[in-house]
């Protein structure tokens, strides 16, 4: 009989209990013992839920106090040298959270996207580190589940090849040298699990879907030969996800007992490989058929057809019906979503509902029969009803977006010509200073929003409150000495949710939270229908802010690709079409801002990189339509209207050409948390438009010094044109406090003044 398996479960809790516990600890309201107790309660509830649902392979060790990559690094004593108070042994929580969030005298480690998801991980730093096993976290997780709940869990480890490929510094000594150091430590972990009586271990190697060169294959052989020889009593599930594997022929020959493949996002490649090369008779196949990243009910009938096809190559007793990846990327449960339209709610499946899907589908594969077949067909009816609804069939919107996309969207004049008009209009100093958009959303701001949403304040009261916040921060920006101002976005909850609430075709959950980074949770909108522009969304606040100052105030919008990538989107049409519908709507907002007298408009695209397909062969097509959608949004403005955009926390070296093709007048990009490494991308790639490389990390509460910022600026000016260089923070400042924000911006302006004095550049 087939078995069911889950690769990981959301950490945050149905009501974000995990987030609240962490933040209470950081604020000094919980001691460490109480934090551990609360986190254990959450963890055990999740395990018990999977047990009661009837899942056969329950993951243990996937739960984290912050991030699973950070967990793996600290388990092996990989602590950056600048955290000098660490002297070996179990990494204390102060250091653990310091690596993630920064400490007074030590900057946080870099944070970047987990493959092509909206989850961020903490990048391990190997430079100068001598790894050592500090504690056996998978063993502790296994014991906890077995002793307290009677669960025979499947420990989850991040594999050594993926760990090294995602780390900084592995190339200094070479992957092979680092494997020589790490494999013995992994072996210690595995041998202890074997002695404990563990049956299966899940070793995640998602890096295998991105590349697998000959050298990587040799590394894999070394790794898994060492594992099986050292712990012969364990069974190893080599788990991949997010795409189809590379080097399938080599991977199926590895000395492991099971291979997990993604049959959602990697369906075409993985299925073709199995059809062409078969599947080993001595291994289990973890068939990831339930989408771990989407929120729609699965078509169980289609899934059964797929599994029936796989049965030609893999008998039922070798099959594990799994999620395609960890359920970390979806909300916990649909049960509390009482405000959604019934036709939408009935078509949704979050983590808990996906557990039910797994169990039902596994039963159907194992037992078959007319009754189960009928159940699957009935289950699929909700998705079919939504597909036929009016909200998904607005022909006027579909036609307008398609027509706009046919023609090449471009500005009236090339950048070299329109920048002259913009300089004449704005007369900004060299190295102009600005921020990315948002200012601190204090408890007072959040409370005001709640009072308004609960009806305790009327609209006029709320508008007046927002205006007071805007005026206060316009005055503060002027006092600090910023050159280009923003209104602060006090009326906005989330940079995507805000726009979704004002556009047709969107829906919003009450409790649909997912983890983005650390304790930062987001509640992605659901794009379930055709996108409809329903009126101006940002004009009122921006126009008011501009009326308060003679300095330019930027209009602030979220771009079409980011809205799409940070939402749960419909799956009945290609993502390209969704992007064009969003671009068509935002184009109308951009025009409304310009007509209201706003001459600088920032259309943020921080998520454009994370949508990049993992397979190189698919990347050009995505970038082409993503760039087209951005340009569709902004190309109708006048030459003197300055278009800004912003991107953050991603690798950009392989898409500089696409960034240039977006044709924004000014782009700001994160670089401080990656310690200026992005600057290296511009040493071999010419960029001739306005650019601001973020000079301090807003995700850390520490206030950077003027010297730190000027060092980053000096480094950037070695490869970038001073006449095109802007000075700004990495990202928006919504999550920071007033005092630290003001202090950091004051230092930033001082750094800009010193830079002007040092370089004595005259504006051309």
* Residue list for the binding site: 16-19, 113, 436-438, 489, 520-521, 566, 604, 610, 646, 648, 670, 731
The annotation places the binding site for L-methionine at 436-438, 489, 604
- Active-site residue, 699 included: yes
Q: Are 643 and 634 in contact (CB under 8 A)?
A: yes
Residue set of the binding site for Zn(2+): 646, 648, 670, 731
Mention every residue, 6+ apart, whose C-beta is less than 8 A from residue 407: none
Angle between helices 137-149 and 32-53 (to 10 degrees): 60
Using CA atoms of 516, 521, 527, 532 in order, give the dihedral in degrees to the nearest 10: -110
Between CA 28 and CA 13 the distance in angstroms is 21
Sign of the CA dihedral running 490, 493, 494, 500: negative
Element (H, E) at 547: helix 539-547
Residue 232's SS3 state is coil
Feature table: binding site for 5-methyltetrahydropteroyltri-L-glutamate: 16-19, 113, 520-521, 566, 610
Residue 690: what are its φ and ψ, rounded to 5°? -60, 140
Q: What are phi and psi of 642, to 5 degrees?
A: -95, 120
In the chain, how many H helices and how many E strands? 28, 21
> What does each C-alpha distance from 186 to 72, 231, 582, 656 come to in angstroms?
10, 11, 47, 38
Question: What's the sign of the alpha-carbon dihedral 160, 124, 84, 172?
Answer: positive
Residue 633 host element (H or E): helix 616-634
Task: Tell me which residue of 144, 184, 172 sits closest to 62, measured CA to CA.
Answer: 144
Joined tokens for residue 327: 């359920």
| Sequence-ordered list of residues with C-beta below 8 angstroms from that of 33, at least 6 positions apart, any chain | none
- Crossing angle of the two packed helices 443-453 and 459-480, in degrees rounded to 10: 160
Annotated binding site for L-homocysteine: 436-438, 489, 604
Give the strand pairing for 59-60 and 111-113: unpaired
| Active-site hit among 46, 68, 644, 699 | 699
| Residues involved in catalysis | 699
């Amino acid at each position: 009989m087939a078995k069911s398996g889950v690769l990981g479960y959301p950490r945050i809790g149905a009501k974000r209990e995990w987030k609240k516990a962490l933040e209470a600890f950081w604020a000094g309201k919980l001691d460490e013992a109480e934090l551990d107790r609360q986190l254990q309660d959450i963890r055990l509830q999740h395990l018990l839920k999977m047990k009661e649902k009837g899942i056969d392979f329950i993951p243990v060790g996937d739960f984290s106090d912050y991030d699973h990559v950070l967990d793996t690094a600290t388990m092996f004593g990989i602590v950056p040298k600048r955290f000098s108070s660490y002297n070996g042994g179990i990494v204390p929580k102060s250091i653990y959270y310091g690596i993630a969030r920064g400490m007074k005298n030590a900057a946080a480690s870099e944070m970047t996207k987990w493959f092509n998801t909206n989850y961020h991980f903490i990048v391990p730093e190997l430079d100068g580190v001598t790894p050592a096993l500090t504690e056996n976290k998978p063993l502790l997780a296994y014991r906890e589940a077995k002793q307290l709940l009677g669960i025979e869990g499947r420990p989850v480890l991040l594999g050594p090849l993926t760990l090294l490929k995602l780390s900084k510094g592995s190339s200094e000594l070479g992957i092979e040298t680092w494997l020589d150091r790490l494999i013995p430590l992994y072996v210690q972990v595995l041998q202890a699990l074997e002695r404990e009586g563990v049956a299966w271990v899940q070793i995640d190697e998602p890096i295998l879907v991105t590349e697998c060169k000959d050298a990587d294959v040799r590394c894999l052989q070394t790794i898994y030969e060492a594992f099986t020889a050292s712990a012969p009593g364990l069974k190893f599930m080599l788990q991949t996800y997010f795409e189809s594997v590379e080097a399938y022929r080599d991977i199926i020959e590895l000395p492991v007992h099971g291979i997990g493949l993604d049959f959602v996002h990697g369906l075409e490649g993985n299925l073709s490989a199995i059809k062409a090369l078969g599947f080993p008779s001595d291994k289990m196949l973890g068939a990831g058929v339930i989408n771990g990243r989407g929120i729609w009910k699965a078509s169980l009938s289609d899934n059964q057809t797929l599994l029936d096809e796989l049965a030609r190559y893999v008998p039922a007793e070798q099959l594990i019906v799994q999620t395609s990846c960890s359920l970390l990327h979806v909300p916990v449960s649909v049960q509390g979503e009482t405000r959604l339209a019934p036709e939408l709610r009935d078509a949704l499946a979050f983590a808990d509902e996906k557990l039910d899907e797994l169990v039902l589908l596994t039963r159907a594969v194992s037992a078959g029969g007319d009754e189960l077949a009928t159940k699957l067909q009935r289950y699929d009816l909700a998705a079919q009803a939504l597909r036929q609804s009016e909200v998904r069939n607005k022909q006027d919107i579909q036609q307008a977006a398609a027509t706009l996309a046919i023609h090449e969207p471009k500005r009236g004049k090339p950048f070299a010509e329109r920048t002259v008009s913009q300089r004449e209009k704005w007369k900004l100093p060299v190295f102009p200073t600005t921020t990315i958009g948002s200012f601190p959303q204090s408890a007072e701001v959040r409370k005001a929003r709640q009072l308004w949403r609960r009806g305790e304040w009327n609209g006029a009261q709320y508008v007046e409150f927002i205006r007071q916040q805007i005026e206060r921060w316009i005055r503060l920006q002027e006092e600090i000495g910023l050159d280009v101002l923003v209104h602060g976005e006090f009326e906005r909850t989330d940079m995507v949710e805000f726009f979704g609430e004002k556009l047709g075709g969107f829906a919003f959950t009450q409790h649909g939270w997912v983890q983005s980074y650390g304790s930062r949770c987001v509640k992605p909108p659901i794009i379930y229908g055709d996108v409809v522009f329903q009126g101006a969304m940002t004009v009122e606040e921006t126009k008011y802010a501009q009326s308060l100052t003679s300095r330019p105030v930027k209009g602030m919008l979220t771009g079409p690709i980011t809205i799409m990538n940070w939402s749960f989107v419909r799956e009945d049409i290609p993502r390209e079409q969704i992007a064009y519908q969003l671009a068509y709507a935002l184009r109308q907002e951009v025009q409304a801002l310009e007509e209201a007298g706003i001459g600088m408009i920032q259309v943020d695209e921080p998520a454009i990189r994370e949508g990049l397909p993992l397979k190189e062969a698919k990347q050009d097509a995505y970038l082409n339509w993503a760039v087209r959608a951005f340009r569709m949004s902004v190309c109708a403005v006048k030459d003197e209207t300055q278009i800004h955009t912003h991107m953050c926390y991603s690798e950009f070296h392989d898409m500089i050409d696409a960034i240039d093709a977006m044709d924004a007048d000014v782009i700001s990009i994160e670089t401080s948390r990656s310690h200026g490494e992005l600057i290296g991308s511009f040493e071999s790639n010419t960029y001739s438009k306005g650019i601001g490389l973020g000079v301090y990390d807003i995700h850390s509460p520490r206030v950077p010094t003027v010297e730190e910022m000027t060092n980053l600026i000096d480094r950037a000016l070695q490869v970038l044109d001073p006449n095109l260089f802007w000075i700004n923070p990495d990202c928006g400042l919504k999550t920071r406090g007033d005092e630290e924000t003001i202090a950091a911006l004051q230092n930033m302006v001082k750094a800009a003044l010193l830079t002007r004095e040092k370089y004595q550049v005259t504006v051309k």
